[in-house]
Amino acid sequence: MRRLGLAAVVAGLASPAMAHAFLEKASPAAGENLRAPARVELHFSELLEPSFSAVTVADESGADVGAGPSVASGDDMTLALKPLKPGRYRVTWHAVSVDTHRTEGKYNFLVVP
């Protein structure tokens, strides 16, 4: 009974509205024009489930330009990139917060010479 009571309290605190992992900060940012970045770094509003959270980056032909899989740790996700040529790139991410809610998004950035 004691365990059941504690679980009910925890569930009551985890409000669905405030527990989703929203993308708060990204580098490169959406729409940014910049020299070739070495990595993409995403910062979220909530802690992530690393096994179910990932980010990929693709060039204009759709080819994956990540140097290995992304790494989720705490409320951040990072993806090391291959050397990027000038052009448009698309970042696609999905995140599952520790409350199991899923969010996702995509955006572009532009690498300039």
Of 113, 111, 100, the C-alpha closest to 57 is 111
> Is residue 94 involved in binding Cu ion (CB under 5 A)?
no
Q: Provide, rounded to whole angstroms, the least separation between the CB of residue 48 and Cu ion.
A: 12
Q: Provide, rounded to whole angstroms, the least separation between the CB of residue 53 and Cu ion.
A: 13
Number of residues that bind Cu ion (CB under 5 A): 4
Burial 14-38 (b: 16+ CB within 10 A, else e): eeeeebbbebeebebeeeeeeebbe
Which residue number places its CB atom closest to Cu ion?
A: 101
Q: Provide, rounded to whole angstroms, the least separation between the CB of residue 39 and Cu ion.
A: 27
> Is residue 101 involved in binding Cu ion (CB under 5 A)?
yes
Whole-Å CA distances, 45 to 23, 25, 30, 70, 96: 6, 9, 17, 18, 11
d(CA 16, CA 101): 8
Which residue among 20, 39, 43, 94 contacts Cu ion (CB under 5 A)?
Answer: 20
In this complex, which beta carbon is closest to Cu ion, that of residue 22 or of residue 69? 22
* Interface stretch with Cu ion, choices 37-45, 55-63, 86-94, 97-105 (CB under 5 A): 97-105
Positions that interact with Cu ion (CB under 5 A): 19-20, 99, 101
